[in-house]
Structure 1
Amino acid sequence: MANALPAQAFSKDQCVAGLRAAVGIIEKWAASSEQACRILRISRSTHTRAKQRDPDWSVALDADQMQRISFVLNIHAALRLVFDNPDNVYGFPAMANHNEFFNGRSPLEIMSQGDMVSLYETFRRIDVLRGAQW
């Protein structure tokens, strides 16, 4: 019988730093609190606390939540490589996109469906803009 692999543990400092960075980016994308909570799979109270910047606050996140944070950070990095203008870097996720995957919806609408597949596929399509090879 095979042993299950242990879940990767993240320190509370890593969780706080990652969550605050992701929340800040998503806020600059003009997402609602509800959208941010769905994208990151966090509660409204955790979202509010992350925005408050209390130095004594800590949070423990699971691997799924940390992966979601990673996707947000990587989408942001890809957009910064593609666009020079901050208005485009932060505005692109809220813009209607008419390619086949988005079908007139914005990347933000797709990501805020809340499932990991939508977040991953959005990342993949944005990452391609910078010339990423799959």
Structure 2
Amino acid sequence: MTAVIQTQDFSKSQCVAGLRAALNILDKWQASAEQACRVLRISRSTYTRARQNDAEWTVGLDADQMQRISFVLNIHAALRLVFDNPENVYGFVSMANRNEFFNGRTPLEIIAQGDMISLYETFRRIDALRGAQW
């Protein structure tokens, strides 16, 4: 039996919109350009172009990059459900966390390692904070 993996094809405009949204969130989390590039697995030139207000600019992203964007957006959504205070919504990922997984590090430090497992596990733990609020 052969497994078939289906991938979602995203238009270049969807890629740009998702990338810019994720970068805006990462900015509010006070991620450096280098951290943002590692989290989203993008080049510095893609980062720079996405930050410009060029309405004509487009980019194609692969499934891994789009999944990373999705995790950033979903972490943000979970934090918005958990916290009413914008300082906590945007500051939580920069706060040292004593949870066993974080071991005194910030969620941003963990996801900025750049590997998908760290991003997923960080998302999973933050998502668990919301309980059954979806």
CA RMSD of aligned residues (A): 1.4
Q: What is the one-letter code of the residue matched to 1:82? A: V
Q: What is the one-letter code of the residue matched to 1:84? A: D
* Map of 2:127 onto structure 1: 127
- Cα gap change, 1:85 to 1:3, in 2 (>3 Å): closer
Tell me which stretches of 4 or more aligned residues in structure 1 moved more than 6 Å: none
Structure 1 gaps, min length 5: none
Q: Cα offset for 1:4?
A: 4.3
Distance 2:121 2:80 in 1: 18
Q: Does 1:82 align with 2:79?
A: no
Q: TM-score, normalised by structure 1?
A: 0.94
Distance 1:51 1:107 in 2: 23
Distance 1:110 1:75 in 2: 13
Q: Cα offset for 1:38?
A: 0.3
Q: What is the one-letter code of the residue matched to 1:17? A: A
Q: What is the one-letter code of the residue matched to 2:96? A: A
Q: Cα offset for 1:48?
A: 1.0
> Percent same amino acid among aligned pairs?
77
* Number of matched pairs: 133
Listed as ranges, the matches of 1:1-134 within 5 Å are 2=2, 4-132=4-132
Q: Cα offset for 1:71?
A: 0.2
